[in-house]
A and B are shown apart, each in its own frame.
Chain A
Amino acid sequence: MSRDLDVLSAFTILVIALMFAFSVAFHISNSTICFLGDVEEQSIAVRIIEQLCLSPGDPPNWEDSGAIAIGLAQQFKSTPYTLSKRKVIALSRMSINEVLSYLGVPCGRFKVQISLESLLTDFDELEFKIGFVNSENAFTTSRVVSIGGELFILRVSVERVYGG
């Protein structure tokens, strides 16, 4: 009788252990998928902001001659995070899909918002916001940049589109 009870107990413990192992495996695979999605979202945001801030674009005078790739850095200036006023104005007049195609970001899979706001003064002539994301779900990165001697915050927010 006690041996039967022992076998039954051991079997119950085995079932509990198996259920736990399955739930742990499910949790880890879910977390990993979520983590990889977050990393992709973050790396897209970083790629966009670094390209905009550090590259002058292709050709470097793309705002006049038409763009292959866009960037906002000044053409002959080696100081990082110093942007060209004319390129910023040209960017602010583009649609977000146009900007993403020049930056090589796949449209449809991500929603992107790019904004520029003045930091210390109310210098709102250059301020803009293109695109739209839900800021609660999006990853936002930013850089302090100087344009014509004034300081601004350039923000890039990226949100994954589920099923996109």
Chain B
Amino acid sequence: MVGKGQLQSLEALIALFVVLTMSMMSLASYDRFLKEDFASEEYKRIISTALFKLDEVGVLPKIASRGDWNDLLEILRSLLPGFEVHLTVYDEGLIAVYSSGCCRRLFFEVYYVHVLPFSGRFYALRVLVGEGGG
């Protein structure tokens, strides 16, 4: 038999449980917000300026004309040690011509369009960076 007073305590307990759950969810999203901070913007800048520089000095056109996308993946990995990197290369028809690397927990992604000089052909590069690489 549940008395009136006990029932009110039960209601208070349920209310406390709701408050605890909501607080835990807020804490989790707050921690996530702190994680996706300034650092990810800087990591994106590292990748995009590297692709820009490789394009400017002629390394990217050479890689694209030979199809040695593994070389580009290795360069990107050396820029972000401790992170997992996955590279996908799409041609003009948006068909993936290369896809390699590993990214289990996505941290951020960077897109770059590379136009081959004097041919009008282009490749779209999609770089996925994941947390916790070797």
Contact = CB atoms under 8 A, between A and B. Distances in A.
A and B: bona fide binding partners = yes
B31 A17 contact: no
B27 A81 contact: no
Contact size range, B: 20 to 34
Q: At the interface, is chain B mostly helix, strand, loop or mixed?
A: helix
Given A13-B12, A143-B49, A153-B79, 14 more contacts: A2-B5, A2-B6, A3-B5, A13-B13, A20-B23, A24-B27, A27-B27, A31-B34, A39-B37, A42-B39, A46-B42, A139-B39, A143-B53, A145-B53
B118 interface: no
Interface in B61-98: 75, 78-79, 81
Q: At the interface, is chain A mostly helix, strand, loop or mixed?
A: helix
Nearest to A150: B57
Interface string A9-50: 110010011001000100110010001001100110110000
Interface in A104-159: 119-120, 139-146, 149, 151, 153
Contacts of B46: 141-143
Contact size range, A: 35 or more
A46 to B, nearest CB: 6
Given A81-B49, A143-B46, A119 B12 contact: no
A65 interface: no
A5 interface: yes
B37 A6 contact: no
Contacts of A35: 34, 37
Contacts of B75: 119-120, 144
Contacts, number: 83
A153 B5 contact: no
A79 interface: yes
A5 B5 contact: yes
Interface string B1-16: 0011110110011001
B110 interface: no
A38 B79 CA distance: 20
